[in-house]
Amino acid sequence: MRAKHFIQLAVVIMVVVGLGLGTAHAATISWLNDWPGYLDPYPSSSDLINAGQSTLSSTVLTTGTAVFGSLDKLNDGDYWGGLDPYTPASWETYSNGFAPSDGAIVTVALNTTVSPLGYDIDSIVTVSASSGPRLGQKFDLWYSLVANPDAFVLVTGDNGATVNRAGGPCAADVSTITGDSPIATGVAKLQFQFYSYDGANENVYREIDVFGAAVPEPGTLALLATGLIGLLCYAWRRRK
Ligand SMILES: [Ca+2]
C-alpha cells in the first residue's frame, strides 16, 4: 500500500466519523412483561443519569406535579426504596416510586461541561411498579443535541412507534429502548413526558437508567486516527 492510500483511508475514516456525529437513528422499543424479580441486579447505579454521576447535570420536573413519591426515585439506583426485598408487604407500597401527573415532563440535562460534544445514548431502561393498577408505562421520549439544547426531537421506533402505547391487557413493568447503536449522538438533554396508562391512575416509576458514553472530542479522535495510521505504516514497512 502506498502513502497515497493511507491518506485516502484517513479521509474515509474521517468522513465516516463525521457522518456519525449529530445524527439520530431509529430506536427499537421492547416491552418486557416480566418484572425484575427477587434480588435481580435492577436497576443500575452507574448509568449516565444516576445520582452522583459526573455525567448528570440536573433532573427537573419541568411540567406537572408529583402525585406522590419524589423525583429522586427515578435515579437513586434503588429498586426497593430502601425497604427489605424479602418482605413483599413493604415493597408493594406504591410510595416507593415516583408518580408523575398525567402529561408531566421530566427534563434530564447531561453534563456538557464534562463532555462538550454531548453523549451517545445507547439504551434506556425504565422500571415501573410491579403490580396493581399502577403497573404499566406510557410516556414519550425526546432528546436534544448540544448544538441546540432546547430543541427536542421525538424518539420513534419501528413503524413510527413511540413509547407512548395505548392501554391494554399486557401491561409492562420494564421497558428497554435501544437503537441502531446509538439511538442518538451528541445528546445534551432528555425529556420524558408521562401519561396515565389506564386513564384513571398515575403510573409509578421506580427508576430510569440511561446508558451511553461521552462523545470523544476531536483531539481524541485525531489521536486515535494517528495511532491507527501509524500502526498501518509500521505493518506496511515490515511487509516490504
Ligand atoms: Ca440508575
| 166-197 per-position pLDDT tens digit | 433 334 566 677 766 688 899 999 999 988 87
Q: How far is the CA of 98 from the centre of ligand 1 (A)?
A: 14
Kindly state whether residues 62 and 10 are assigned to the same domain.
no
| Residue 45 domain boundaries | 25-214
Q: What is the reported pTM? A: 0.75
Q: How far is the CA of 101 from the centre of ligand 1 (A)?
A: 22
Q: How far is the CA of 209 from the centre of ligand 1 (A)?
A: 4
Kindly state whether residues 71 and 128 are assigned to the same domain.
yes
Q: How far is the CA of 185 from the centre of ligand 1 (A)?
A: 20
231 alpha-carbon distance from chain centroid: 35
pLDDT band at 91 (very low <50, low <70, confident <90, very high): low
Kindly state whether residues 68 and 121 are assigned to the same domain.
yes
Q: How far is the CA of 152 from the centre of ligand 1 (A)?
A: 23
**Neighbouring C-beta atoms of residue 23, cutoff 10 Å:** 12
Kindly state whether residues 78 and 169 are assigned to the same domain.
yes
CA triple 106-108-111, angle to 5 deg: 165
Q: How far is the CA of 230 from the centre of ligand 1 (A)?
A: 40
Q: How far is the CA of 74 from the centre of ligand 1 (A)?
A: 7
pLDDT for 238: 81
Alpha-carbon distance 209 to 221, whole Å? 27
DSSP for the chain reads --HHHHHHHHHHHHHHHHHHTT-B--EEEEEE-S---TT---S-SSSTTSTT-TTEEEEEEEES-EEES-GGGGGSS-SSTTS-TT-HHHHT-GGGSBEEPTT-EEEEEE-TTT-TT-EEEEEEEEEE-SSSTT----EEEEEEETTEEEEEEE--BGGG--S-PPP-S---SEEEEEESS-SEEEEEEEEEEE--SSSSS---EEEEEEEEEEPPPHHHHHHHHHHHHHHHHHHHHHH-
pLDDT for 174: 65
Whether 17 shows a pLDDT value over 80: the answer reads no
CATH number at residue 129: 2.60.120.260
Q: How far is the CA of 97 from the centre of ligand 1 (A)?
A: 13
For the chain, how many structural domains are there in total?
Answer: 2
Whether 232 shows a pLDDT value over 50: the answer reads yes
pLDDT for 37: 46
> pLDDT tens digits, residue range 93-142?
566 789 999 999 999 999 999 999 999 998 888 877 766 656 677 788 89
Kindly state whether residues 146 and 156 are assigned to the same domain.
yes
Whether 25 shows a pLDDT value over 60: the answer reads no
Q: How far is the CA of 208 from the centre of ligand 1 (A)?
A: 6
Of the two residues 93 and 205, the one the predictor is more confident about is: 205
| C-alpha cell read off for 165 | 402505547
Contact 50, 56 (CB under 8 A): yes
pLDDT band at 68 (very low <50, low <70, confident <90, very high): confident
Q: How far is the CA of 149 from the centre of ligand 1 (A)?
A: 23
Kindly state whether residues 135 and 75 are assigned to the same domain.
yes
Q: How far is the CA of 148 from the centre of ligand 1 (A)?
A: 26
Q: How far is the CA of 203 from the centre of ligand 1 (A)?
A: 18
Alpha-carbon distance 165 to 213, whole Å? 28
Kindly state whether residues 116 and 3 are assigned to the same domain.
no
pLDDT band at 4 (very low <50, low <70, confident <90, very high): low
pLDDT for 199: 76
Residue recorded with cell 489521536? 223
Kindly state whether residues 195 and 107 are assigned to the same domain.
yes
Longest alpha-carbon distance in the chain = 75
pLDDT for 203: 81
Q: How far is the CA of 165 from the centre of ligand 1 (A)?
A: 23
Alpha-carbon distance 98 to 142, whole Å? 19
Q: How far is the CA of 156 from the centre of ligand 1 (A)?
A: 23
Q: How far is the CA of 75 from the centre of ligand 1 (A)?
A: 5
**Neighbouring C-beta atoms of residue 116, cutoff 10 Å:** 12
> pLDDT tens digits, residue range 26-64?
667 666 555 544 345 568 899 999 999 999 999 999 999
Kindly state whether residues 108 and 52 are assigned to the same domain.
yes
Alpha-carbon distance 179 to 60, whole Å? 25
Kindly state whether residues 62 and 124 are assigned to the same domain.
yes
pLDDT band at 16 (very low <50, low <70, confident <90, very high): very low
Kindly state whether residues 166 and 126 are assigned to the same domain.
yes
Kindly state whether residues 221 and 125 are assigned to the same domain.
no
Of the two residues 155 and 59, the one the predictor is more confident about is: 59
Backbone angles phi and psi of 209, in degrees to 5: -105, 130
Of the two residues 141 and 200, the one the predictor is more confident about is: 141
Q: How far is the CA of 71 from the centre of ligand 1 (A)?
A: 13
